[in-house]
Chains A and B, each alone.
Chain A
Amino acid sequence: MTGYSLGILVLLSFNVIAAYAVYLPLAAGQLNLGIAGFMVVGAYTASFLTNEFGWPVAGAVASGGAVAAAVALLVAIPILRTHGIYLALATFALGQVIAAIFLNLEVVGGASGYPVTAHIEAIAVIGTAIGVVAFMALLSTTRFALYLTAVKSDPLVSDLMGINIRFIKVAAFTLGAAVAGIGGGLYAHHFNYIEAQYFSVMLSTYTVLYVLLGGTQTVWGPLVGALIFTLMPELLRSSAQWRYALFAVFIILFMAVRPQGLLTTGFGSYLRKLVLRQDVAR
């Protein structure tokens, strides 16, 4: 495999991990616009542990995820009182505040960034991404996924049916943050350098874009979305200047034509019908 395609594959892995971090709360109807904030927490925690205390990378990355989850749990309790757009903006503000705090934290280099000594190979990143996808696919077969959908579709009715919606919401939010933290930790150790500026609002919003483009109705949506988002700018590389503009046009038109995202629960039968209709026409 060439270095270029390996690079793309690593990029794809990071995007997939981030996409599932956004997908989990979104499946319960919470738009998290601050996912980059949780990635920052994971990235800095993990690299601090390997740099200063000589922890093994695997343990440090897992701890990064745990700390990100702890932060999420701490803020979920007050923040999840808000909902809809208020929640989206509260998470947005949270992401900004977290990134700004790390930007001013001199222990980890402040604005000049934080070099990370321990290194992990691409294969570990790709492996983790596959693991995350497998975990999510497994999760989608459990009752938990049903609860998420129920809470998203109608919180009032699901409450009446005896689902603890508060618990489900907090769990989805926290689990998403843990995945983001792990992604951040991997990022830090693969590229051996982090700076808080990288984890910007745009990173959070792009991640939300992947997920919505792929669709939130099925567990494979975020994967497909991340795939499109990673590969498309590469395919458009020949039209260097125009590629992001073309890409934006693609997003706008795509959302206009298929507002539910590419993959929906009825996608399979939709395709089948399309094929059948052509058979009849022939």
Chain B
Amino acid sequence: MIAQQVINGLMLGGIYVLIAVAFTLAIGVLNFLNFSIPGTFMVGGMVSWAMIRVGWHWTIAFGAALFCAAFVGLLVYWLTYRPSKNSDPEVPLVSSLGFLVLLENIAIIYLGSDQQSFPQIIADFNMRIGPVVIGGAQLISLVVSLGVVFGLSIFLKRSNAGRRIRAIAENRDTAALLGVNVGALVPQLFVFNALFTALGGILFAVSYLQVSPFMGENLGFKGVSAMIIGGMGSIWGAIIGGLLIGLVEVLSIQSLGSDFVNICVYGLLLLLLIVRPEGLLGKPAARDKL
């Protein structure tokens, strides 16, 4: 039975990986803890559901969801990141939280606050390896999310745009001096980041068949924890952190009951921060970050 739980944990962790990577990119490059990320995650799931409900084909519905998320990403850039560049580090965090509240309430007004069941898009096929059952939709989600993240890490390493992004992460001013168009690249990063999280929301909806206006909150906080556990700014760290949190969550439900999930997950985070503040794969902070 333990093998089954490990599989379930990894599947759940796959969703956390996407959010953790989005957080890690925002922190690593822009030095910005972007709390609107759980909001765009929810937009991904809820908008897809709403569009499918009014009869759109699921491909178009997913496209619409991604478009909305990209728009939100741009808004966050315009209204949060840009005005507060030179202020206290907590300020963008707070106003991006404002976006989370705003998105949740807009979703409640237009779509209601109930949990909704998401239509099954991928035909129900389960694979059996001995006693272990692997859900088809979950497997596809895990593969897609890991594939996207893997692609991203190659993109950052090899492509020219990736090199520019890494230059900004290293030092903004130097990057600008070296001819990187920082003003154009940063909003692109925001859009990209929003697309990434919205994809996470869609994958969550497809594999767990439920959406709600609050779906981002819990997952968002677990995603942040995954990012911290892996080490901020490290993509591979985010993958390890995400899968680890998924595992801890599922295994603690299995062995201790669902009441102890938060104690285990956040206890792990707390313990790790005390023992190794820079995370599993992170480097000790050379400069202060927040």
Contacts and interface: CB of A to CB of B under 8 A. Distances in A.
Interface of A: 26, 31, 78-79, 81-86, 88-90, 92-94, 96-97, 99-101, 103-104, 111, 201-202, 205, 208-209, 212-213, 216, 241-242, 244-245, 247-249, 251-253, 255-257, 259-260
A93 B277 contact: no
Contact of B94 (A97, A103, A104, A208): A208
Interface of B: 27, 33, 79-80, 83-84, 86-91, 93-95, 97-99, 101-102, 105-106, 108-109, 217, 221, 224-225, 228, 232, 259-260, 262-263, 266-267, 269-270, 273-274, 277, 285, 288-290
B interface secondary structure, majority = helix
22 contacts: A31-B290, A82-B277, A85-B232, A85-B290, A88-B93, A89-B273, A97-B266, A97-B270, A100-B260, A202-B217, A241-B108, A242-B109, A245-B102, A245-B106, A245-B109, A248-B99, A252-B102, A255-B80, A255-B84, A255-B98, A256-B80, A259-B91
Nearest to A99: B262
A252 B288 CA distance: 25
B262 A100 contact: yes
Given A79-B273, A88-B93, A247-B101, 15 more contacts: A81-B277, A85-B33, A85-B232, A86-B277, A90-B270, A94-B270, A100-B260, A201-B217, A209-B98, A212-B91, A248-B101, A251-B97, A252-B98, A256-B80, A257-B83
Contacts of A201: 217, 221
B80 A245 contact: no
A78 B274 contact: yes
A259 B88 contact: yes
A123 B65 CA distance: 51
A101 B285 CA distance: 32
B98 to A, nearest CB: 4
B260 A104 contact: yes
A43 to B, nearest CB: 18
B95 A256 contact: yes
Contacts of B109: 241-242, 245
B65 to A, nearest CB: 20
A205 B97 CA distance: 8
Contacts of B267: 93, 97
A241 B80 CA distance: 25
A247 B102 CA distance: 8
B94 A212 contact: yes
Nearest to A248: B102
A64 B273 CA distance: 27
Contacts of A209: 94, 97-98
